[in-house]
Amino acid sequence: MLSNEALEKIDIELAKYPDNRQRSAIMSALRIAQSEKGWLSHELVGYVADYLKIPPVQALEVATFYGMYNLKPVGKYKLTVCTNLPCALSGGVDAALYLKERLGVGFNETTADGMYTLKEGECMGACGDAPVILVNNHKMCSFMTTEAIEKKLAELQ
């Protein structure tokens, strides 16, 4: 289900923890799996659990607990906008509203062309850079004014 490259990455994570503590690698293993497949299907969660030799329900608990795992398919780009209070004070909500209108979707929705999924985020520890938008979980974009958003969308094709 996963490429050798992904499995190698998981092995690197596994090596960080003591013997018999392979459960510790579940978060990164799910992250790596998601990065490759876009989202965590049940089969994928089960596969990762098997790879780590842990009960699948333990992997499911983790996949559903942490906010950045996609339990449903998402667009090519998942845009997560922080709207928490500090960000809201500096345009976080405005950025989200702008994106909603611009893309024609609400939170947790994907554009018809499958390009973008919009998500509301909680504090990303970057309040000083508000508005912030996280692209596909791993790329943070700061000071996302309307112009900056437009520029970013043009890049993300």
Partner 1 sequence: MIEFELDGKQVSAPAGSNILEVALKEGRYIPHFCYHKKLSIAANCRMCLVEVEKAPKPMPACATPVTEGMKIKTCSKLAVEAQKGVMEFLLINHPLDCPICDQGGECQLQDLAIGYGRSKSRFEEEKRAVTNKDLGSLVSTEMTRCIHCSRCVRFTEEIAGFQELGMSYRNNHVEVMPFIGKTVNSELSGNIIDVCPVGALLSKPFKNKYRNWELSRRKSIAPHDGLGSNIIVQVDKYHKVARVLPLENEEINECWISDRDRFSYEGLYHDERNTTPMIKQDGKWINTDWETAILYAAKSINGVKEDHGSDSIGVLASNISTTEELYLLQKLMRSIDVVNLDSRLAQSDFSLDGKISGTLSLGGKVADLVNSKSILLIGSLLREEQPLIASKIRTGVKKNIELNVINVLKEDLLCDVKNQLVVDPREIVYTLAQVAKAAGVNLPSLNLDTVQISDEASNIAGSLAKGDGYIVLGNIAKSLPDYSKVLVLADAIAKITKARFGQFADLANEVGASLVNFVPYKLDSKLGLNAMQMLQEPRRAYVLLNTELEYDAYNSMQALAALKKADTVVVLSPFISEEMKNYADVILPITPFTETAGSYINMEGRWQKFNGVTRPLGDSKPGWKVLRVLANNLNLAGFDYNNIEEVRSELVELNNPKLLELQILTHTFSVTKPEIDSLVRFGIQRIYYGDSITRRAYSLQQTVYAKLPNLMLNPKLAIKLKLRAGEKINLEQLNVNKELPEATLCDKLPESVILVSAKVAAMAGRFDEIKVNA
Partner 2 sequence: MAIYQSGVIFENVDTKNPDCWTLDSYLNRGGYTALKKILNEKITQESIIADMKTSGLRGRGGAGFPTGLKWSFMPRTLEGQKYIVCNSDEGEPGTFKDRDIMAFNPHSLIEGMIIAGYSISASVGYNYIHGEIFEIYERFEAALSEAREAGFLGKDIQGSGFDFELYAHHGYGAYICGEETALLDSLEGKKGQPRFKPPFPASYGLYGRPTTINNTESLASVPFILRDGAQVFQDKGVPNGGGTKLFSVSGHVNRPGNYEIPLGTPFTKLLEMAGGMRDGKKLKAVIPGGSSAPLLPASIMLECNMDFDSIAKAGSMLGSGGVIIMNEDVCMVKALERLAYFYHEESCGQCTPCREGTGWLYEIIHRIENGEGRINDLELLDSIGNQMAGRTICALADAAVFPVRSFIKHFRDEFEYHIEHKKCMVSHKWC
42 near 81, Cβ under 8 Å? no
Sheet with 139-141, side-by-side order of all strands: 109-110, 116-121, 77-82, 133-135, 139-141
3-state secondary structure of 51: helix
**Residue 88 makes contact with partner 2 by CB under 8 A:** yes
Torsion angle in degrees (nearest 10) through CA of 97, 125, 129, 103: -20
Q: Which residues pair with 119 in a beta bridge?
A: 80
77 sits in which H/E element: strand 77-82
Strands 139-141 and 109-110: unpaired
Residues in region 40-79 near partner 2 by CB under 8 A: 54, 58, 61-62, 65-69
* Residues in contact with partner 1, shown as a per-residue x/- string from 61 to 100 under the rule CB under 8 A: x--xx-----------------------------------
Binding test (CB under 8 A) with partner 2, winner from 122, 145, 150, 155: 122
Number of residues that bind partner 1 (CB under 8 A): 10
> How far apart are CB 33 and partner 2 at their closest, in Å?
12
Residue ranges binding partner 1 (CB under 8 A)? 42, 46, 55-58, 60-61, 64-65
Residue ranges binding partner 2 (CB under 8 A)? 16-18, 21-28, 30-31, 54, 58, 61-62, 65-69, 80, 83-90, 92-94, 121-130, 134, 137-140
